[in-house]
Copies of this chain bind each other. A is one copy, B any other.
């Protein structure tokens, strides 16, 4: 009797058994070790049990779909994942099998549907992979039993890698079940422990349920008692207007109306992305529907059955959206997919929450069947399937909450999906366990991708406002974001903040109505000056720079990467609130403009700051000799520059200084004195203000700007 069989004997009849989730708030190390051991072993067992549905070598090594690896890869992958993450937290220092671990390291992301697969692999025999899994199992259980443990197990604890490995395996338990469902039918076979729901019938009618307006407050604290992936942490709050939501998930029967109505063929129901996918895939019905001799059948994980019309339809996000557009046309109502926030309002309205009693009152945690079930089987308040059965697509592309940060040993779990192309799925499916089954979990897939996922539709007037999830990666912009809003390096204080302080001191008791920051870049000094001025205008030649200031002023969190080494980056985010600048937003404006050719609207300022500007202008003399026109008499002009004249910015014959003139060294400071003299008097002596711009975690520009202050006197 092998281990998988033993596992099966120990489970409730006909189902693999899994602890639902792991409580991290332990005080007794021995108890924690035991619970973690069970959590690991039973997950590892369940995963191996799942793969027993594969019949014959081809099932293991032939790809179910072109865009992913064959199943043999995923069998090894979850074990290798443990090794890799344990190495990173130094719980282990040696690999088990470098060759296999190289093969099993990287899963294929759900790429664009038209990517070609160019990789070729010689896959190892299943027995070798099984032996490898056995060694990893022994390694992990050995660690759990013997490695030094200090509680609590949180992000900083090296044991986090073990929990991460188990949760990662549970994700693959589900995604592998989808791949098995996509494998050729003759290569899979039903197995005990993975039973199909026997309840199939006609589709129940769907209706709309009112969801009252109300708040959502999302985001997990970093000391949560349950494991989370990076994007669950932080804070998100919103007020959701009232809307209606369908009582049931859309069933195969309800979706048939759309298919029968020619919904797949009718372009108007599909957005551009949807049409491109549909045409490429030649989709005419849901992917798991099979046209049989006697009508529609459904491909379940290991078998094909007569279509269970009362089960939820499983489609991708693009199909679900098309259905909603058809439904909107049919009903004359604003039908669409719910947002993430609306999904939480449905959940709150349903009143569902996890209770200890087993089996759970939802098609979740593998506690009922290894398949979907009727959409009206589990009533949750006025809804059915608030959670469970199949995942529910939302309209919301995944995005980071306020306070988001990546976990150091898995910084690319979520960040690659912050691209407005991955939409969140919520609620979990029949095979979702552990973190997957938490309402807080936030998995996202490309909108054309298939999971055990369907949808509930809503009727809502509120437009969907796409969240900001973009990480700015443009090198110059990210360097300036870090320069203005990021960390301090080499002990040098924040430069725009220091300049604003000097400028405000120079203005002294003079009027503080209007200020301008010319060459404001990404705008930090604009906000800092707005602490003291009624109105501050930031002007820069670069719209890419201006955009950052505009977004911050709008209250957005601006996200950017900071190069660490080579292509490796840190993920950074900034928001005015974090800097105590939220109150300044109403007093600032940003404009794209040319300091050598300013529009007439800019004038009447009490302060003009030109920081590190003059040596980047094409005609600096024009700027210096006309800037008084924009400044009130008595107003202050502040110029800072390292005087780094470069022909690429300023033609040599336009440099203000830095050359021999009439036989003498002619410095830019000489030129400023000469050119500003007709309208200005110097305010104090020139002073040096240092600044540091980070290029990588190890390489910085460290510069001394010279700051000169001038009062307009005529």
- A134 CB within 8 Å of chain B: no
Say whether, besides A643-B698, A698-B643, A663 and B567 are in contact (CB < 8 Å).
no
Choice from B658, B702, B704 contacting A568 with Cβ under 8 Å: B658
- A84 CB within 8 Å of chain B: yes
- A645 CB within 8 Å of chain B: yes
Q: For A565, what are the chain B residues with a Cβ–Cβ distance below 8 Å?
A: 643, 645, 657-658, 667-668
> Contact at B664–A88, with CB atoms within 8 Å?
yes
Expressed in whole angstroms, the minimum distance between the Cβ of A353 and any Cβ of chain B is 35
Say whether, besides A567-B658, A645-B566, A701-B701, A663 and B696 are in contact (CB < 8 Å).
no
Q: For A503, what are the chain B residues with a Cβ–Cβ distance below 8 Å?
A: none
Of chain B, the residue at the smallest CB distance from A412 is B660
- A347 CB within 8 Å of chain B: no
Per-position binary interface string of chain A over residues 644-675, scored 1 when its CB falls under 8 Å from any chain B CB and 0 otherwise:
11000000000101111111110110000000
Q: For A704, what are the chain B residues with a Cβ–Cβ distance below 8 Å?
A: 698-699
Of A658, A698, A705, most buried by chain B (CB within 10 Å of CB) is A698
Of A105, A659, A661, A665, most buried by chain B (CB within 10 Å of CB) is A665
- A703 CB within 8 Å of chain B: yes
A106 CA to B101 CA, complexed, in Å: 74
Q: For A662, what are the chain B residues with a Cβ–Cβ distance below 8 Å?
A: 84, 101-102, 105-106
Expressed in whole angstroms, the minimum distance between the Cβ of A296 and any Cβ of chain B is 40
A247 CA to B482 CA, complexed, in Å: 75
> Contact at B698–A701, with CB atoms within 8 Å?
no
Q: For A568, what are the chain B residues with a Cβ–Cβ distance below 8 Å?
A: 658-660, 665, 667
Of chain B, the residue at the smallest CB distance from A490 is B702
Choice from B490, B643, B659 contacting A490 with Cβ under 8 Å: B490
- A700 CB within 8 Å of chain B: yes
Q: For A106, what are the chain B residues with a Cβ–Cβ distance below 8 Å?
A: 662-663
> Contact at B692–A702, with CB atoms within 8 Å?
yes
Near B by CB (< 8 A), chain A positions 90-132 give 101-102, 105-107
Per-position binary interface string of chain A over residues 674-714, scored 1 when its CB falls under 8 Å from any chain B CB and 0 otherwise:
00000000000000000010011011111111100000000
Q: How many copies does the complex hold?
A: 2
Q: For A665, what are the chain B residues with a Cβ–Cβ distance below 8 Å?
A: 411, 568
A643 CA to B699 CA, complexed, in Å: 9
- A642 CB within 8 Å of chain B: yes
A452 CA to B382 CA, complexed, in Å: 113
Expressed in whole angstroms, the minimum distance between the Cβ of A472 and any Cβ of chain B is 20
Tally A residues with Cβ within 8 Å of B. Answer: 42
Of A643, A664, A699, A706, most buried by chain B (CB within 10 Å of CB) is A664
Q: For A668, what are the chain B residues with a Cβ–Cβ distance below 8 Å?
A: 565-566
Say whether, besides A84-B662, A84-B664, A662-B106, A566 and B698 are in contact (CB < 8 Å).
no
A705 CA to B704 CA, complexed, in Å: 22
Expressed in whole angstroms, the minimum distance between the Cβ of A675 and any Cβ of chain B is 14
A692 CA to B657 CA, complexed, in Å: 25
> Contact at A84–B642, with CB atoms within 8 Å?
no
Of chain B, the residue at the smallest CB distance from A702 is B702
Q: For A698, what are the chain B residues with a Cβ–Cβ distance below 8 Å?
A: 642-644, 703-706
Of chain B, the residue at the smallest CB distance from A563 is B658
Choice from B105, B657, B661, B703 contacting A700 with Cβ under 8 Å: B703
A472 CA to B490 CA, complexed, in Å: 31
Q: For A703, what are the chain B residues with a Cβ–Cβ distance below 8 Å?
A: 698-700
A661 CA to B644 CA, complexed, in Å: 39
A315 CA to B291 CA, complexed, in Å: 108
Of chain B, the residue at the smallest CB distance from A660 is B412
Expressed in whole angstroms, the minimum distance between the Cβ of A230 and any Cβ of chain B is 15
Of chain B, the residue at the smallest CB distance from A698 is B642
A481 CA to B658 CA, complexed, in Å: 22
Per-position binary interface string of chain A over residues 21-58, scored 1 when its CB falls under 8 Å from any chain B CB and 0 otherwise:
00000000000000000000000000000000000000
Of chain B, the residue at the smallest CB distance from A107 is B663
A397 CA to B659 CA, complexed, in Å: 26
> Contact at A644–B701, with CB atoms within 8 Å?
no
Q: For A705, what are the chain B residues with a Cβ–Cβ distance below 8 Å?
A: 698
Of chain B, the residue at the smallest CB distance from A669 is B565
A105 CA to B666 CA, complexed, in Å: 13
Expressed in whole angstroms, the minimum distance between the Cβ of A91 and any Cβ of chain B is 15
A659 CA to B569 CA, complexed, in Å: 9
Of chain B, the residue at the smallest CB distance from A703 is B699
A703 CA to B694 CA, complexed, in Å: 10
Say whether, besides A692-B702, A698-B703, A643 and B101 are in contact (CB < 8 Å).
no
A568 CA to B669 CA, complexed, in Å: 13
Of chain B, the residue at the smallest CB distance from A646 is B566
A84 CA to B643 CA, complexed, in Å: 23
Q: For A412, what are the chain B residues with a Cβ–Cβ distance below 8 Å?
A: 660, 663
Expressed in whole angstroms, the minimum distance between the Cβ of A513 and any Cβ of chain B is 33
> Contact at A105–B658, with CB atoms within 8 Å?
no
A566 CA to B666 CA, complexed, in Å: 10
Per-position binary interface string of chain A over residues 566-591, scored 1 when its CB falls under 8 Å from any chain B CB and 0 otherwise:
11100000000000000000000000
Expressed in whole angstroms, the minimum distance between the Cβ of A410 and any Cβ of chain B is 9
A662 CA to B661 CA, complexed, in Å: 60
A567 CA to B645 CA, complexed, in Å: 9
A696 CA to B644 CA, complexed, in Å: 8
Of chain B, the residue at the smallest CB distance from A704 is B698
A608 CA to B657 CA, complexed, in Å: 45
Q: For A655, what are the chain B residues with a Cβ–Cβ distance below 8 Å?
A: 566
A77 CA to B101 CA, complexed, in Å: 81
A412 CA to B659 CA, complexed, in Å: 12
A74 CA to B47 CA, complexed, in Å: 96
Of chain B, the residue at the smallest CB distance from A567 is B659
A101 CA to B663 CA, complexed, in Å: 11
Q: For A699, what are the chain B residues with a Cβ–Cβ distance below 8 Å?
A: 642, 644, 701, 703-704
> Contact at B701–A566, with CB atoms within 8 Å?
no
> Contact at A660–B702, with CB atoms within 8 Å?
no
User: Can you report 24 A-B residue pairs in the complex whose CB atoms are below 8 A from each other?
Assistant: A84-B663, A88-B664, A105-B664, A412-B663, A490-B702, A565-B657, A565-B667, A566-B657, A566-B658, A566-B659, A566-B668, A567-B659, A567-B660, A568-B667, A642-B696, A643-B698, A644-B695, A644-B699, A692-B702, A698-B704, A699-B703, A700-B702, A700-B703, A702-B702
Beyond A698-B704, A700-B702, 5 additional pairs, beta carbon < 8 A: A412-B663, A490-B702, A565-B645, A566-B645, A568-B658
Q: Which residues of A contact B (CB under 8 A)?
A: 84, 88, 101-102, 105-107, 411-412, 490, 565-568, 642-645, 655, 657-665, 667-668, 692, 695-696, 698-706
